[in-house]
Structures are given as structure tokens and as C-alpha cells.
């Protein structure tokens, strides 16, 4: 991974640990720690600290405070299947190590919301508009540019993706990549079985991407069920080299980013799940000092 100077984090509230007693209390412990962190930042915001940005979650209309990042270094072109995929899987890394981001979202038409909210957002137009605002709010702290490709996402029962759509998306991404010369490409590894993730991964590979995040697509499995892992290893063999990024110092800011996607992660306290996975991932950190981490993969031919 390209070396950048990490941001200097502000002192955080005590981070909860989802082990021991926390195996039962972690969702509420994390919720309280995030509330305390947000309160600290809100106090700075009231003093007109220009480094603190207020962002409002589009579904809940709840405002949160987060320190805006100053991007530096080589630009990154992020290719995500859906509006929340970068936030779920890779946002902590770029909160800790900000780089200039352009985020291309492939499947931006959807009627997918949490089942409890389906009556409120009843059609593709309402859901798509909401998820667009959620994506914009989540990416605001990164000062990211957004590109929306406008495709309709897959719906259950899932089937293999259409090869013709793969060709179309590949050509669209090829044009976008050509318009961003020098940018490093980043896309999902497609650990998950979701056809949209599998399609976007293959399209990204076709346009030269060699850097991928461990995608956390399904709430039920987080792409970490044994069958998902088996299929991922079968597809990739030894071609994917894992690398971890410590996100301990920014994990509560990542919770703020996730709060923007309230139509998918509902109620708010259930957003502990990707953070719980980040705790598990951190067990593989070489120095063993971080509490939370995100996992990426490089293809073996990559020299970045």
C-alpha cells in the first residue's frame, strides 16, 4: 500500500472490546462510546472549529459531527457496487490515511432498504433518491468526487449476472479510468456471493485493478460464512495477498460514516456488526497492538 502520513486523531472515548463481558454488551457499549465521541466533536463544532464537519443522516435526519479529512498523495479511483459498500468495507482506511478519492458507484437504482422501512420507501425512485443522498453524506468527510453509473441492482432470488451487462460496465469503467490517469484503482474482492459484487470485481480486473477490499455485503453473513470463504478461495487460489490496515484510532468516525446509511443498517445500534468484524480482523495485525482493522487484498502481480 502507498505510504501516506496518517492523520493525527483527536483523543477518543474509551473503545469497547467485544470480548469477555463485551460479548453480550458490545452493541450498546459501542453505541455509547460513539455518542461520547460525537459529543466531543460537537463541542468543537460549536466553537467554530473549521476542521469539524456536521453531517446529517438522510433517513433519520440526525446530525453528527466528524473531523473532515485533508486528502494527500496519489489519487484513488474507488469502484463500488452500491452506495454503502465503500463505507462498510474500506472507509476506516481512508479516514486514517486520507487520499484524493473519486468514487464510482455502479448500481445506483434500487428498491433495497431494511425491511422495517419498506412501507416508507415503496418504489425504486424513492429508494434510489434516498440512497443517493446517503452516499453523498457518507463521502462528505473524505471530500470525495462521486460518479453514478445508473444501473439497477440485482434482487433476490439472486442469479448469475448477465455477461452483456458485465461488458457494458467494463466499458464504462474503462472510460472512467482513462479520465483519471495516475489514479490507483480500488474495488471489491467479491468475497461475497452477491452477483453485483462479482460483476463489479470482474469488470475492475478487466480495467487493470489489482487492489481490493474485503467486501462486507450481507448483514446475515458479512461474506464470512464458510461457504463464501470456500468459494472465494476456489475462485482466487493463491493470487490474492491479504494486507491489513489498523483503523483503531478512527473506528468511531467509521461508525459516523455508517450512520449515514440508515436505510440499510437499521436501527442504528445494529451498526456494530462491521465493527465487530474489524475487531476480529485486527487479531491478524503483525504487531498485535491495534484493536480494529480492515482487510485488503493485492493480486500477486501488483507492485504498488
pLDDT band at 286 (very low <50, low <70, confident <90, very high): confident
| Burial of residue 11 (number of CB atoms within 10 Å: 0-12, 13-18, 19+) | exposed
Best mean pLDDT range from 163-177, 234-248, 281-295: 163-177
What is the separation of C-alpha 149 from the centre of its chain, rounded to a whole number of angstroms?
A: 18
User: What pLDDT shows up at residue 214?
Assistant: 94
Contacts of 253 (CB under 8 A, 6+ apart): 37, 66, 67, 92, 95, 141
Which residues are within 8 A (CB) of 174 and not within 5 positions of it... i.e. 6 or more apart?
Answer: 206, 207
Q: What is the pLDDT of residues 7-64, one digit of tens each?
A: 444 444 489 999 988 999 999 999 999 999 999 999 999 999 999 999 999 999 999 9
pLDDT digits (tens, 9 = 90+) for 166-199: 999 999 999 999 999 999 999 999 998 899 999 9
Q: What is the pLDDT of residue 12?
A: 47
| pTM metric for this prediction | 0.92
Query: Which DSSP state fits 81?
Result: S
CA dist., res. 197 & res. 205, Å (int): 12
Amino acid at each position: 500500500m502507498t505510504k501516506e502520513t496518517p492523520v493525527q486523531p483527536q483523543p477518543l472515548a474509551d473503545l469497547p472490546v467485544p470480548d469477555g463481558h463485551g460479548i453480550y454488551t458490545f452493541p450498546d457499549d459501542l453505541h455509547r462510546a460513539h455518542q461520547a465521541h460525537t459529543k466531543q466533536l460537537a463541542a468543537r463544532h460549536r466553537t467554530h472549529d473549521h476542521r469539524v464537519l456536521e453531517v446529517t443522516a438522510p433517513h433519520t435526519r440526525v446530525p453528527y459531527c466528524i473531523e473532515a479529512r485533508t486528502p494527500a498523495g496519489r489519487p484513488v479511483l474507488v469502484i463500488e457496487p452500491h452506495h454503502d459498500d465503500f463505507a462498510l468495507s474500506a472507509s476506516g482506511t481512508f479516514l486514517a490515511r486520507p487520499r484524493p478519492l473519486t468514487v464510482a458507484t455502479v448500481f445506483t437504482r434500487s428498491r433495497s432498504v431494511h425491511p422495517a422501512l419498506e412501507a416508507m420507501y415503496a418504489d425504486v425512485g424513492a429508494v434510489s433518491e434516498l440512497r443517493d443522498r446517503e452516499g453523498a453524506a457518507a463521502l462528505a468527510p473524505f471530500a470525495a468526487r462521486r460518479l453514478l453509473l445508473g444501473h439497477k441492482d440485482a434482487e433476490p432470488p439472486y442469479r448469475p449476472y448477465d455477461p452483456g451487462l458485465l461488458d457494458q460496465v467494463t466499458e464504462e469503467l474503462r472510460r472512467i479510468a482513462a479520465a483519471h490517469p495516475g489514479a490507483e484503482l480500488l474495488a471489491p474482492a467479491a468475497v461475497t456471493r452477491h452477483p453485483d459484487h462479482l460483476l463489479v470485481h470482474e469488470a475492475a480486473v478487466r480495467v487493470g485493478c489489482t487492489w481490493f477490499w474485503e467486501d462486507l455485503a450481507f448483514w446475515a453473513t458479512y461474506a464470512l460464512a464458510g461457504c463464501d470463504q470456500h468459494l472465494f478461495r476456489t475462485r482466487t487460489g493463491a493470487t490474492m495477498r491479504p494486507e491489513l490496515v489498523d483503523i483503531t484510532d478512527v473506528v468511531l468516525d467509521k461508525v459516523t460514516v455508517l450512520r449515514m446509511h440508515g436505510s440499510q443498517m437499521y436501527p442504528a445500534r445494529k451498526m456494530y456488526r462491521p465493527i465487530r468484524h474489524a475487531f476480529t480482523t485486527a487479531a491478524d495485525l503483525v504487531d498485535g497492538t491495534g484493536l480494529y482493522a480492515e482487510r485488503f487484498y493485492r493480486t500477486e502481480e501488483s507492485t504498488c
